Structure 1
Amino acid sequence: MPGSLVDFDKMKLFIILALAAACVLAKPANEVSEIEPSFDAYRDVRLLLSTRRNRGAPYQISFRNLDNIRNSPFDATKPTRVLVHGWWEDDTSDISVGTSEELLNYYDFNVIFVDWSEGGQTINYAAAAGRVEAVGFFVASQLNWMRENNLINFDRVHVIGFSLGAHIAGFVGKNTQGQLDTIIGLDPAGPLFNERNPGGRIDAADARYVECLHTNGGLIGAGFGSAICQADFFPNGGASQPGCLTNTCSHLRAVSFYIEAIIDNAFHSVRCDSELQASRENCNSGGGQWFADTNNAARRLNGIFHFATNRNPPFAQGPVRP
């Protein structure tokens, strides 16, 4: 699929991540720069705006340029959603195209897609992972400026990131001058982030409400297998997904579930007493919660949750959120 994560099987993915990390960490900084093109977030990241007025023709927002944004389809009276892709993705990926399309089908939003493919489309996963903080800081700088110019209200801004993009979303929240309303991490990347402290990855304190979905955790999973947000959802145990034979498939299901939740949210979840319960799919502490429910932020939902899905779409098993 164009713009999607490379389709490695479990062992190939693990080997490439391990080798990439080992190669980079074993070399001095000056040698690494010789084999990896330089990346400057202020030069290389694109902010692509989609609204109901310009569907299919995203408008590139210039950094801190008032004339540029005034001449754009951006509407300061509407809520804003920021979408961030993961490793080896770009503006053709589902987190961009599919998510933007369904958000605009159901809501009148400003949707800003953060295209950092100049830094993320590299076989060197460690290099891509090392760029997430710079991308997050760049996006936060733009949002801070937009707030200063009364273009956005942080109470109406959500940032949704997939894989490495989930950690970028976290760094956006860490660097805004005031808390964003909501951050949603779709299977936050695990390799090279599992051992980081909260300041180096997405964390529950990065916004007023932070929700994470874990679809591919585990020892050699592509995702982060632990509860790190205010509300953490572990579908089907959180390690592998029904109908998937590879890590990549399970990892990408996070985006598919989110898109489906926008259309018709039937991802009813039950509360778990622990991560172990969630991993064993043995949770029975009561329902009444839905993954990606638009009311979760207002409720300040907190805890660990589980839901089961089907092997094929529609994935949700219901009931539909009332």
Structure 2
Amino acid sequence: MAHALSSFHMLRLYFFIPLMCLVKADTDETCTAFTKLSLHSAVVGTELNVKLMLFTRKNMACAQAINSTAFGNLNVTKKTTFLIHGFRLTGSPPVWMGDLVEGLLLVDDMNVVVVDWNRGATNVMYNHASSKTRKVAEVLKEFIDQMLANGASLDNIYMVGVSLGAHVSGFVGEMYDGQLGRITGLDPAGPLFNGKPPQDRLDPGDAQFVDVIHSDTDALGYKEPLGNIDFYPNGGLDQPGCPQTIFGGMQYFKCDHQRSVYLYLSSLRENCAITAYPCESYRDYRNGKCISCGTPQKVPCPLLGYYADNWKDYVREKDPPMTKAFFDTAEEKPYCIYHYFVDIITWNKNVRRGSITIKLRDKDGNITESKIDHEPATFQKYHQVSLLARFNQDLDKVATISLVFSTGTVIGPKYKLRILRMKLRSLVHPERPQLCRYDLVLMENVETIFQPILCPKLQM
């Protein structure tokens, strides 16, 4: 295993030569670089100039400049993914672009075309940049027309648009009457697009499959659904690990917005498939009301990111074909959260309301914790309460479990929660044995540690 990981890291190191550098290719051609501008350019404004940069597995570390009359290494019989950035306040190249190119080429033998419209996107006036989006789409249509004339198929065209780039993708898709293979919108821009009709923004009819990640719906991103499936990490609002105050500097303004890109990147590069759950609201998801997908049901749970289109066959059966899906993430890469249900039946005479903190420990001493306190749970005598627990680690074999019950009151009497049965079941791995414990008494705010036993197989 260590040797395999070492080989993988060596492979990544080999390909991680800065993708935008001016180096020499095997053909002795100069590599083209992403346009780098300054804050001065943003203040005075820039005129639109769209540059297309091609990467393939033949030239992973050296971009070729291509256009509608010169395709370079582009193979029209393969999948072609266009990466389209958004508004550039300071003129700097997107910090994530090289990683995104590398990640796509490592998972699939395709053409990756970086759409560099930095001259046009760079401006301190956001509305000046947004007004250029249709013109960018027209340039892309001219290029794709030539691809089609040379034997390409619209089915093999995939567009990944970030912020304003998501709407550029939508405009291109509209020009082809929604026949593009797929569009992924990464936190599509909200300002100047919110409330606009479908023809003036990205919408589900712009491609055969449209998936969208909304990570900053209360600021820079678009709040309402725009695709066949719309993913809302952490409800689409504040992302864990991002600064909560202005003292976080520029990250305070852009971290939530950019998180959509890094979540997508995680689907390409990490050993972590982020599962989402179709649901009407984030609150319903957190309350465990939307865990109807996956085994043993026939409908799979949708996956976030590159492999989201595995779900498109189910989407096509729906009318209208639009679904919202919610999930939570960790603060850091690879962002995965592992979901479990904690089923509790109590036998208190009186109703108890409060939160539960559950901690799991395996035989190697690894510990992971979930605090289920987004809203108080109501425990009634002989009624089962199913709580959705979210852990940062996935422990295969749990040795001990601990529970803490709290009503949240600082003063006043301390309560007991009398548990008739507790059951722990994995949603990510439903085939794993379910773990039980019987006849527990939890003293408020006191950690109770115990060894679980296997639940009887007849229990559901």
TM-score (norm 1): 0.79
Alpha-carbon distance in structure 2 between the residues aligned to 1:306 and 1:203: 19
Of 168-177 and 131-140, the range deviating more from structure 2: 168-177
**In the TM superposition, what whole-angstrom CA distance separates every residue of 1:24-46 from its partner, at most 9, and x where no partner exists?**
xxxxxxxxxxx64443xxxx100
Q: How does 1:192-211 map to 2 (within 5 A)?
A: 192-211=192-211
What's the counterpart of residue 261 of structure 2? 255
Alpha-carbon distance in structure 2 between the residues aligned to 1:38 and 1:312: 38
**1:237–1:281 contact (8 Å) kept in structure 2:** no
Alpha-carbon distance in structure 1 between the residues aligned to 2:171 and 2:283: 28
Change (3 A) 1:300 1:36: same
**In the TM superposition, what whole-angstrom CA distance separates every residue of 1:189-216 from its partner, at most 9, and x where no partner exists?**
1111102111111111100111110000
Structure 1 portions without partners, runs of 5+:
4-19, 21-34
What's the counterpart of residue 234 of structure 2? 236
Cα offset for 1:247? 3.5
**2:178–2:208 contact (8 Å) kept in structure 1:** no
Alpha-carbon distance in structure 2 between the residues aligned to 1:99 and 1:135: 21
- 2:205 is paired with a residue whose SS is coil
**Are 2:331 and 1:311 aligned?**
yes
What's the counterpart of residue 136 of structure 1? 137
What's the counterpart of residue 160 of structure 1? 160
If asked which structure has higher relative contact order (CA below 8 Å, sep 6+), I would say: 1
What's the counterpart of residue 107 of structure 1? 108
**Are 2:133 and 1:118 aligned?**
no
Change (3 A) 1:276 1:230: farther
Cα offset for 1:286? 2.2
**Are 2:194 and 1:181 aligned?**
no
**In the TM superposition, what whole-angstrom CA distance separates every residue of 1:142-171 from its partner, at most 9, and x where no partner exists?**
112211221x21111110000111111111
Larger relative helix fraction: 1
What's the counterpart of residue 267 of structure 1? 274
Larger relative strand fraction: 2
What's the counterpart of residue 214 of structure 2? 214
Alpha-carbon distance in structure 2 between the residues aligned to 1:190 and 1:178: 22
How many residue pairs match? The answer is: 277
Alpha-carbon distance in structure 2 between the residues aligned to 1:199 and 1:282: 36
- 1:300 is paired with a residue whose SS is helix
The residue type equivalent to 2:64 in the other structure is Y
Change (3 A) 1:93 1:181: same
What's the counterpart of residue 7 of structure 1? none
- 1:123 is paired with a residue whose SS is coil
Alpha-carbon distance in structure 1 between the residues aligned to 2:279 and 2:174: 28
Alpha-carbon distance in structure 2 between the residues aligned to 1:92 and 1:148: 32
**2:120–2:132 contact (8 Å) kept in structure 1:** yes
**2:84–2:162 contact (8 Å) kept in structure 1:** yes
Alpha-carbon distance in structure 1 between the residues aligned to 2:292 and 2:268: 23
Structure 2 portions without partners, runs of 5+:
1-19, 21-33, 35-41, 244-251, 294-300, 317-321, 339-427, 430-460
Cα offset for 1:283? 5.3
The residue type equivalent to 1:198 in the other structure is P
**2:228–2:323 contact (8 Å) kept in structure 1:** yes
The residue type equivalent to 2:261 in the other structure is V
Cα offset for 1:285? 4.5
**In the TM superposition, what whole-angstrom CA distance separates every residue of 1:216-272 from its partner, at most 9, and x where no partner exists?**
002xx1100111211000000101100111241010011000011112452101111
**2:46–2:122 contact (8 Å) kept in structure 1:** no
The residue type equivalent to 1:290 in the other structure is L
TM-score (norm 2): 0.56
Cα offset for 1:299? 4.0
Alpha-carbon distance in structure 2 between the residues aligned to 1:168 and 1:243: 29
Cα offset for 1:93? 1.9
Alpha-carbon distance in structure 2 between the residues aligned to 1:179 and 1:94: 31
Of 197-206 and 87-96, the range deviating more from structure 2: 87-96
Cα offset for 1:92? 3.8
The residue type equivalent to 1:254 in the other structure is S
Q: How does 1:44-63 map to 2 (within 5 A)?
A: 44-62=49-67
What's the counterpart of residue 225 of structure 2? 227
Cα offset for 1:139? 0.6
Structure number with bigger Rg: 2
2:304 counterpart (291, 296, 313): 291
Cα RMSD after superposing both structures = 2.6
Alpha-carbon distance in structure 1 between the residues aligned to 2:192 and 2:112: 29
What's the counterpart of residue 24 of structure 1? none
The residue type equivalent to 1:310 in the other structure is A
**2:55–2:111 contact (8 Å) kept in structure 1:** yes
